[in-house]
Structure 1
């Protein structure tokens, strides 16, 4: 499947006359809790030829393709850098993915250095916090709930917990996010991960009352501790310098 995905990405890049810089898996396959019928959520970054960026016209800065079980979305380099300035978490997470389909020489390392400079714990915290609130409404003990929604809520809750304990960007994989939870909670969660691997996306689960009680306690701790979080770097100089260097790099033209 890896080679099939890479071939599809290269075909799309050739069709649109862009240069592929980075491509990875996101979603449940990268997060570590796929179902047997999970799609492949593929995200990539690309760049145009230098003259494309000199046009006075506003141009499309994203590409997408749905093909069978492949869900593919790409962002232009300039768009990606502007989103990084805002500490955009979907972008940042792509460089934490354990499944990388392609990386141009040096690009992943360069971009991760930029992430370290522009990562904003408070912005990422509130992104995940909003997802916790969204999925918490539909995932409660005593009523059937989708494991997919539960794991979205859980992963965001654990990411918030990570941010309050660690200066680094939260990892993408759920199992790594368990680092700052109790062994008892971790064991229960991993049992549910194993269950989800055997069930279709439509499966309704019921139970886990004791786990919900512990997660509610964790949520209350996060609510009480979030005020100490840091903001990000607001200076654009580093991003501008990187972007100009990439446009002037003859490797890509």
Structure 2
């Protein structure tokens, strides 16, 4: 996408950075986008001046941008520190089907790391918490608006990923997990959940009975999730390995 590449180049000049990896992270990659959906760009960068990493007043580890895209960038040191904690955002960025730049092979290396040493337990806990938080936002609402439909969709997505992790104890692309579920809607929960997604994509209100069914079923599953975490792998990434990668990227 030429326009996106031009924007990334302007970003590099403005902030004096090198963008190592850039991807889409919003509704477009979850296949829940509508005509009104914007772009949600996430990128990982390094500062061109290496003195930035040893300065008394270090430069920001996060760059937030609102125009022309909703975008956020993480400095490579922050990104690798969070990779050591099996960060869920990095997990999603690594496997996103829509990559805008990966000239350094950063994305492939991050995917390899996620598949081999990311912790199913840590990711399971994240998605379980995200599911509960979104369900809480919907609870007690007299009228379910577009925001609540979005939150219910996110709660369902979180459950499906957490359920896969608990069942397999393996790391796989979250997008492929959902694709497999959508291709084989073999439960009433999935069928009604798909009604919510299709309604959001078309900008219309979903059937009230579908909303109620999905909410009630997810509440049941939420209560059962905590019982499924004990046998999950709590792998830990080697700090030495992450340091070696960081120094390599910084050409030290």
Query: Which TM-score band applies after superposition, normalised by the shorter structure?
Result: 0.7 to 0.9
How much has 1:74 moved relative to structure 2? 0.5
How much has 1:207 moved relative to structure 2? 2.8
Matches of 2:9 and 2:26, distance apart in 1: 21
Change (3 A) 1:182 1:144: farther
| Of 108-117 and 237-246, the range deviating more from structure 2 | 108-117
Normalised to the residue count of structure 2, the TM-score between the two structures is 0.86
How much has 1:169 moved relative to structure 2? 3.6
**Per-residue CA distance 1:135-174 (angstroms, 9 max, x = gap):** 1123359943221111111111111101112201451367
Which residue number corresponds to residue 119 of structure 1? 118
Matches of 1:177 and 1:142, distance apart in 2: 31
Q: RCO higher in 1 or 2 (8 Å CA, sep ≥ 6)?
A: 1
The answer to whether the 8 Å contact 1:18/1:48 transfers is yes
How much has 1:84 moved relative to structure 2? 0.7
The answer to whether the 8 Å contact 2:20/2:45 transfers is yes
Change (3 A) 1:170 1:118: same
Change (3 A) 1:191 1:206: closer
236, 240, 244: which one pairs with 1:237? 240
The answer to whether the 8 Å contact 2:88/2:123 transfers is yes
Number of residue equivalences:
245
Establish whether residue 199 from structure 1 lines up as the match of residue 198 from structure 2. no
Change (3 A) 1:57 1:224: same
Which residue number corresponds to residue 57 of structure 1? 57
Any gaps of 5 or more consecutive residues in structure 2?
Answer: none
| Of 46-55 and 25-34, the range deviating more from structure 2 | 46-55
How much has 1:90 moved relative to structure 2? 1.0
| Of 44-53 and 212-221, the range deviating more from structure 2 | 212-221
The answer to whether the 8 Å contact 1:132/1:156 transfers is yes
The answer to whether the 8 Å contact 1:65/1:71 transfers is yes
Any gaps of 5 or more consecutive residues in structure 1?
Answer: none
Matches of 2:36 and 2:176, distance apart in 1: 19
Matches of 2:86 and 2:108, distance apart in 1: 17
